[in-house]
Amino acid sequence: MSRITYLDGIAIGQLIFYSPALLTSIYICFKHGFAKASGWIFLVLFSSVRLAGAGARVYLIHNPSSSDAETAALICSILGLSPLLLAWLGLLSRILYSILDQPWRTIVSIVLVRAIQIPTTVGLILCIVGATSVDTPTQVYTESTVRIGIVLFTVVFALLLIFNVMAAVLARSTMRGEKVLLVAVNLAAPLMLVRLVYPLLAAFSHINLFQIGNESTSAVTTSLFMEVVEEFGVVIIYLVAGILQPAFPKDGSQEEGLAQRYNRADLPGRLEKLSFLATLFTTGSELKARRGYGRGVELQSRTSGERELRKHGLRGQV
């Protein structure tokens, strides 16, 4: 058995932290729903990724020559930003849903989700491709695909921050919104900023202190206080918010439930588009029905008048 290093100790701490965090995330998903746009499912994914990476790192203690475990630990180490950004996105989507009126709540939710999910997913794929194509961990942030992925994460962070500020302003002006979630995203935003700065410096500053694979005490400590601690803080904030935030009421018809999910952009992919078209069709049908009702009343009134005129033999005089 090899000697436990500073980095191994951090991995053991992550195992201890993310084991109950994963269970709590699953509980929150059962409470609020597993839809990807609700945000909570990404806490489950993030906790799972961190457990897998920490587990691979602990495995290396006993098997230091295992290349598969080293690759797994490397890939998991760069996958932290994507699920946290998507969790932030889901919470913002729900906050805006609670503030805005139709049709803006639907439009903003769909635009917000689609405009941010796509570049986040692309950035995640690029980082995975870059991490699996290097020979040593220290080369990860020199890969062009990884750098492009980090730039995409930076753009996504900027968009989320803009929507975050917009949600805070709207909540204050309208005195509406889900306050628990709003406080949570406001508290987590500075931590997410520090978490983003670390890979930016690692990719573009050429400072050895930020290189993956550098196991010096200063490098590991920097990673601890710019990555690990921030992730702990964001997860704790989101988990507490998920526990304190009441779930959407489950009473009501199935149609009301689907409409509620649709308005929060919880219906993914093709189903989301079909629901959007269905809503437009329903709205158009209601307008037509109202117009038809008005025309029917007018026609009925005219018919009744003509009958009265016929009854008194006055139709020709009209």
Task: Give the H or E element holding residue 277.
Answer: helix 269-311
Pick the CATH number of 6-250 from 1.20.1070.10, 3.30.70.1140, 1.20.140.10, 3.40.50.11240: 1.20.1070.10
pLDDT attached to residue 86: 92
Long-range contacts of 273-276 (CB under 8 A, 24+ apart): 276/106, 276/110
- The residue with greater pLDDT, 121 or 295, is 121
Cα–Cα nearest to 98, from 252, 249, 263? 263
- The residue with greater pLDDT, 29 or 261, is 29
Averaged pLDDT for residues 161-188: 85
DSSP track, 285-313: HHHHHHHHHHHHHHHHHHHHHHHHHHHTT
State yes or no: pLDDT of 289 exceeds 70.
no
Task: Record the pTM.
Answer: 0.77
Instruction: Give the pLDDT confidence of 117-128 residue by residue, as tens digits.
Output: 899 999 999 998
pLDDT attached to residue 64: 82
Sequence-separated (6 or more) residues with CB below 8 Å from residue 38: 32, 90, 93, 94, 264, 266
| Reported confidence tier of residue 304, pLDDT bands at 50, 70, 90 | low
Beta strands in 172-279 (DSSP E): none
State yes or no: pLDDT of 258 exceeds 50.
no
| Reported confidence tier of residue 309, pLDDT bands at 50, 70, 90 | very low
Q: 309: which 2 tokens? A: 């005129």
Q: 13: which 2 tokens? A: 């701490």
Averaged pLDDT for residues 199-205: 90
